[in-house]
Amino acid sequence: MNKPFQFKAAFVFAFALFLSSLAFAQEKPASPHDSTSATVAGSLIKIKYGSPYVKGRKILGELVPFDKVWRAGADSATSFTTSKAIKVQGKALPAGRYAFFVIPSASGTWTIIFDKNPKQWGAYTYKPENDQLRVTVKGKTAPKAESLTYTITPKGFNLKWDTFVVPVAIK
């Protein structure tokens, strides 16, 4: 091969690689995976979840139907880990890793579920007999949040998305 041809071929390859990396870098995943952790009531709490976006959709009552189990995130079931036994809404939850599900209702009441099977895709294989703990909380309205987030506070944690927040107390 002659040198000008080699140079042109290398230049074209490098330019194509550069353009494809720019295009790839600008794509955001539909539901990026996220996590948060902090110590509450002497226990290290970790929450891992897929964080979907609102994208102009109606969330409660449509994308997340009322009175049905929801994985509380996107993709795999949200995972909740506690390093020590804790009390959630006053009820005992042993140390361990759990799948975290919720059931929202039109009245604003949310059923919070800690499932013994932490490795599930969505809520498709959810079975009530695998519940370690179920508690009920009252959801609240909140300023609009485009992506789903979990925050851990000194008093527990919050699931926040769209125009709602679901506070869960831990002691």
Q: List, for residues 100-111, the tens digit of each pLDDT value.
A: 999 999 999 999
> Does residue 57 lie within any of the structural domains?
yes
Strand-strand pairing, 156-169 and 96-104: unpaired
Q: Which residue intervals of the chain are DSSP H helices? A: 3-26
The answer to whether residue 50 is domain-embedded is: yes
Is residue 20 in a domain?
Answer: no
Asked whether residue 21 is assigned to any structural domain, the reply reads no
| Domain membership flag for residue 40 | yes
CB contact set of 2 (below 8 Å; sequence gap of 6+):
none
Model pLDDT for residues 64-99, shown as the tens digit of each residue: 999 999 999 999 999 999 999 999 999 999 999 999
Q: Which of 72, 81, 68 is nearest to 132 (CA)?
A: 81
Report which of residues 24 and 33 the model is more confident about.
Answer: 33
Residue 64 contacts residue 70 (beta carbons within 8 Å): yes
Give the pLDDT mean for 38-56: 97
For the record, the structure tokens of 126 come out as: 């959810």
As for how many domains the chain has, the answer is 1
Domain containing 60 equals 30-169
Average pLDDT on 38-48 reads 97
Helix (H, G, I), strand (E, B) or coil at 14: helix
98 three-state secondary structure:
strand
Per-residue confidence (pLDDT) for residue 9, from 0 to 100: 53
The pLDDT assigned to 30 comes to 76
